[in-house]
């Protein structure tokens, strides 16, 4: 979310959007969300470096096993307008060969945000294989398919999840 965006509550529902100039009589409750800025030593070093990519490569040796490093740095380069470099940096997480479904899901969400739907779908499919007992896995895949305009396939996936979980308690 960008600095000039807010979440407003109207009639008990939350709505996001651009800040609006409102008179006092039209005001509603709102919360301003500032853009995430990880204040980590590695991000400070990259931001201050003359050649930011070279700084990333040097720091990668130290933070190679730290997924948040790749997420933060990729996000930084995307915000600087280099979406392809952001993707290249994110791909390091996939190469880590972790079986942590939460981390894999975060990677898929990030790829989906960047509109790399084909990659996100492939990763969500892996999450479904790893965590097929969780309806969330099917939901994430279904929503990504819908975002990629694969509506019927998305509906089929969510229908499969509903049928599978009917009468079964959710995992804890």
Residue 155 lies in a domain: yes
Q: What is the pLDDT of residue 164?
A: 78
Chain centroid to Cα 22, Å, comes to 32
Cα separation, 107 vs 98, whole angstroms: 12
User: 172 in a domain, yes or no?
Assistant: no
Is the residue at 171 inside a domain? no
Q: Please write the tens of the pLDDT for every residue from 41-74.
A: 999 999 999 999 999 999 999 999 999 999 999 9
Tell me whether residue 55 is in a domain.
yes
26, 47 in Cβ contact below 8 A?
no
User: What are the DSSP calls for 12-42, one per residue?
Assistant: TEEEEEE-----GGG--EEEE-PPP----HH
Q: Is 172 exposed, middle or buried (0-12, 13-18, 19+ CB in 10 A)?
A: exposed
Q: Which domain holds residue 153?
A: 98-166
Q: What is the mean pLDDT of the chain?
A: 84
Can you tell me the distance from the alpha carbon of 118 to that of 129, in angstroms, rounded to the nearest whole number? 17
Radius of gyration of the chain (CA): 20
Residues 108, 162, single domain; the answer is yes
pLDDT band of residue 99 (cuts 50, 70, 90) is: confident
Residue 3 has pLDDT above 50, yes or no: no
Residue 73 belongs to a domain: yes
């Amino acid at each position: 979310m960008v600095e000039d965006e807010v979440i407003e509550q109207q009639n008990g529902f939350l709505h996001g959007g651009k800040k609006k100039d409102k008179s006092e009589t039209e005001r509603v409750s709102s919360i301003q969300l500032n853009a995430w800025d990880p204040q980590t030593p590695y991000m400070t070093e990259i931001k201050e470096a003359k050649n930011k990519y070279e700084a990333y490569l040097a720091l990668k040796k130290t933070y190679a096993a730290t997924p948040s490093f790749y997420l933060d740095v990729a996000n930084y380069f995307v915000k600087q307008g280099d979406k392809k470099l952001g993707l290249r940096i994110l791909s390091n997480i996939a190469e880590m060969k972790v079986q942590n479904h939460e981390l894999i899901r975060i990677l898929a969400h990030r790829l989906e945000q960047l509109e790399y739907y084909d990659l996100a779908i492939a990763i969500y499919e892996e999450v479904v294989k790893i965590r097929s007992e969780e309806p969330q896995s099917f939901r994430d895949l279904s929503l990504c398919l819908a975002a990629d305009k694969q509506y019927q396939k998305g509906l089929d996936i969510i229908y499969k999840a509903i049928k599978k979980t009917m009468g079964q308690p959710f995992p804890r």
